[in-house]
Amino acid sequence: MAAKLLTEFLGTFFLVLTIGLTVLIGSTYAPFAIAGVLIGAIYMGGHISRAHYNPAVTLAFWLRGGIPGSQVVPYMGVQVLAAIVAAFAADTITGDVLQVMPAEETGLGAFFLLELLFTFLLALVILNVAIAPTTRGNDSYGLAIGMVVLGGALAAGPISGGAFNPAVAVGPILVDQMIGDGASLAGLWVYLVAPFSGGALAALAYGVMNPDAPDGA
């Protein structure tokens, strides 16, 4: 279990650190850097913890029997902890606080829907390329997952903030409350409810798409 939790911490930490640094320095290539680091982290940790790095993905795995209930809270806890540490690190390095929030002109409906839809797609792709019996053991699962994040960041990021991951939002939002102006707090409930809903719907859709898959696959 220690190896799994360390893997989840490291993968989530470097994902959120990359998000923080690229956003705070204003990099045009932020989505590509984020996707690239995520792809590498998935190949680093997939064989150890299955490389969730996302509480919504952990929820989807649990609903499919891919992770025991006793591991759900530790997984989610270490993911959020990693995101908090990464947000502090990004502030230390750049001198600015990362704020995860939608664009000012984004309506609540669009905000919620985009976070739900792209988390749904992300979790559904992960389930199908990483644990489905007919695709298990392939070498392309990391690329498939990274490309979904890249596409989502490019398509939805400028509108909803493009978290698709409760830890990516919760960590920086908590740090913003502690050392920033706290402006990002208003969107916290959306970044929790929408991704977790997307993960749950992905688990349901996966079961319909793979009716013969046994529990845990």
Residue with the two structure tokens 């279990």: 1
In a domain, 217, yes or no: no
CA distance 36 to 179: 29
pLDDT of amino acid 213:
75
In a domain, 214, yes or no: no
Domain of residue 202 covers: 2-209
Nearest partner of 148 among 173, 177, 103, 117, judged by Cα: 117
In a domain, 31, yes or no: yes
In a domain, 65, yes or no: yes
Q: What is the mean pLDDT of each run of 10 residues along the chain (217 residues)?
A: 97 98 96 97 94 97 94 98 98 97 96 98 94 79 95 97 97 96 95 98 95 70
pLDDT of amino acid 133:
80
CATH classification of the domain holding 126: 1.20.1080.10
Residue with the two structure tokens 């845990």: 216
B/e letters for 82-112, b = 16+ CB within 10 Å, e = fewer, are bbbbbbbbbbeeeeebbbbbbeeebeeeebb
65 torsion bin: left (phi>0), alpha (psi -120 to 50), beta (else): left
pLDDT of amino acid 217:
54
Please report which helix (H) or strand (E) contains residue 139, including its range: none
pLDDT of amino acid 163:
97
pLDDT of amino acid 60:
97
CA distance 26 to 100: 14
In a domain, 215, yes or no: no
Which phi and psi angles does 165 have, rounded to 5°? -170, 110
pLDDT of amino acid 123:
98
In a domain, 110, yes or no: yes
In a domain, 39, yes or no: yes
In a domain, 204, yes or no: yes
Number of domains in the chain: 1
What one-letter code names the amino acid at 141?
Y
